[in-house]
Structure 1
Amino acid sequence: MSTKVFLCPFFTVMEKVCLLLSLFSSCSLGSPGQGVQTGPKVTTVAGSSNVRLSCIPPPNVTITMINWKKDNWQGDPQERRNIAVFSPNFGLSFPNGPYKNRVNFSSRTVKDDASLILSRVKPGDEGVFICEVSTFPHGNFEGKVTLDVLVKPQVFLNLTTDLREGNVSTMVAVCEARGGRPKPIVVWEDLGPAFNMTEGRENRSRIGETWNVLRELWTIPERSSNRQAVGCTVKHPAFVGQLLKLTEALSIVFPPVITAITGYDHNWFLGRSHVSLKCHVDSNPPSTIGWIRINGSLPKGHILVEQQLQLDLPLLLEHAGTYVCTASNGLGHARKEVTVVIADKPLHTRTSPGGVWVLLGGVAAILLIIAFVVTTAIVCCRLRTRHKPAEHISDGDLNTKFPNTQPSASSPHVPDISAPLNIEPDVTGQKPSKLTPYYDTDGTNGESWGPLDEDKDKRNCSSLQQQYQTTASRPYISPSAHYV
């Protein structure tokens, strides 16, 4: 936004006329197309190297002077002070004051671009800067630029030391944002679902143009909160992403507690070696751990490695007994024992998990191979049966298989009826009767035998011949299907 101030010059008759007209209305010898152009509000962080305050003079005018001023000088709204001056005749001038050596024009052609460069920005630089352009014969024009200076706060997260386990609410951490402008916002985050925050007090104080904000974290110290992370987040426009986060872990001291002794699997036997007992201790600060054996000393050749008691030599019956783990850290003591029995022989076979998986894998592989072989054999047999050619029997094979038959070309399965009959004598002494074969013509392929006399023999032969001719006219039937 710009404001124009008109001044009537007094040089010629024209100026006198202007003065006369100014009594009734404003006077201008021709106004420029536009006033001073300034940029929007500028926001920067204190300590920045350079900040640009934009000012473009109106075009097509004769510039006699350009003057940068600071409004509200040292808090006085009625006072303005020059901080940079340009004259086409006399050049540049930077009056003494807090801005000397910190301001300069950004362009060599100031009449075209009168923007000002301010370096080493301070919180006190915040305010309104005025770019005033004096022209002939149109008078003075001015534009204003507002500068906002942010002060980045310093953030500190301090944890209370020597926090002891107890049942009283205690301040465990303090998060402070110091010297921020505008006022920073401090919050606690990432405390975890199990963290029981009893209070979150906040203190605010203003020092000059900056703010200090301090927030406390209160809780009941418990061993479950040891190594619990607490996060402090400070929100401020001067930070990248407008926030800064610090995280620390609580340290709560408590006496030792032995949670378990591992290593003894109830299968220690004579000759077994490379066994160990491990003592699991929870304490802060860390405890000093020791091993003893009730009613005896520790076995010869034992090795103490941190929390473990190692027995690498083969076990003997004398190694049995009650072993005790002791722990102390200055806040208290703890002990836990385990009774070890040495057996004559192993109670059970110990198989490592890796061996079990290898065994199961081998069995599965064998089953897959067997299934593949069986499936392949079945498929091959079916394919061979499906594509096997039909069996062909030649006449020679037929004569070999059935030597008493003389098949014809049309009916190879009909026997020769001229062959002599084999008549066995009657065991009763009676005259044997003749038997002649009778071929069933109803398609049952059966044979029926009955006694025949000589008179009927010829008639039967004639009937057989007729049956032969009838049978010969039938389709071919395989001998294997006709004879049983």
Structure 2
Amino acid sequence: MIGLLCLVASMLASHGASGQRVKVEPEVSSYPGQTVNLRCAFTDATGIQLTMVTWIYEPKGGERTNIAVFHPSFAPNYPDSPVKGRVSFSPSPSSMSSPSIAITDVRMTDEGKYICEYASYPSGNEQGITHLVMLAKPQNSASIVTVLAGSTPVVVARCESVDGRPPAEISWVTVVNGNATTQKNTGADNTVTVTSEYRMVPTAADNGKDLSCVVGHRTQVKPESFLLKLAIQYPPQVTIVGYDNNWYMGRTNGILTCNAVGNPPPMTTQWKTMSGEMPELAQITNNVLKVLKVDDSVNTTFVCEVSNRIGTGRDQVTVVVRGTRLPEKGATTGSIIGAIIGVIILLAIIGTAIAMYRKHSNKLSRGGPPKYKPPPPKTTNSAARLIRSADPVAENRPLQDQYYNSQSAEPVTDLDAHHDTDDYSGVDMEHYHAAAPSGWDDPGNNEVPPPYVGSDSDTQDYHQGPNVSRGESFVSPAMFV
């Protein structure tokens, strides 16, 4: 048993090794009418005697047929076959090492297996197989199928790829719910026609939606796409607009509009009432009904009927006539109220800002030192003597400390009125009196001066009155307090 297994293994290995020595192209493609070259060669004939080469044609699902035979001692032979008259060894004359063939004016029926088989000694026959693939570019097309809206699936679109080789691949791209069915039919010349149909339950809502057919084929650089739009016919869908539930006695120009959509488009529009009588003040223009003035006759149900080739659709609205008008609440009132509130808020913000600014300014003016501080009053010798006589201790202090203290409250004075005056002859008295206590600031009264006032001689030293002669008017010196 072991010896038998070894013998079988060696035979299979020898056959596999020998099979690899016949070199051919695994696949060759061609279009109808062209010339194809089928190459064959024996790569290593060492120790082997090659006696003959035979080309065999095997169609898909058919029987094998010899189409060309080469023997080194005889001329090439071409038996009867589907390719007789169109097949020949190439180049010519041929050789055992390279017995390639050429087939001219190839046809779609020439597709199949082509076997190059060597008859050799002592290994026996060895062969290589080439698949000839015939290509035919198909004619692609797509079309929409117009259908009526319904409740059962129907074909809504069709896509075809005619006379292609190999068969085309068809797919659908859409957002509508449905499914596709595909059929393949082989022609007499071995081409294939592929037909795909898309089925769905047609509804009015799907009318006009996109549906694409995509065809892919080996002969095309990229798939070919056809964009379609569903064509679903349905009777008019009608809607009446314009009634706002606020039709009151005496209202003018009440308008009702009858809107309708359908496929095919609506053709006729008809207005009527449930009572059978149209109000006298109602005017109809196409799909618009206008009531010139609302009264009791308008208190009815209006019906609008619209028809197309498929059928008729209708809608109705019941008008209730009110005695008085309802208050209107629209976007305009809300906008006005909002604008008023916005203005009030803006004014409040501005007022608050102004109040805070003023408060801050007043605080700065009260809390800080004065921007201008008047100079201390200028003293005279007479005033100094009066102060020294009243306060002996003050004689030893500087005059500046005696007459001005920045830490004490400012005296009530009118220094600013005479600050810029060059003549100080009569101003010193005013400064002195201004610094006097309340009740003593009027030198013109006849009150007796306090006991600390100096003698007349001192007063005369301080202010010398004008010299006048007797009989002339004169002003007596002022009394200082």
Higher strand share goes to which structure?
1
Q: TM-score range by the shorter chain?
A: 0.3 to 0.5
Instruction: Provide the TM-score with structure 2 as the length reference.
Output: 0.47
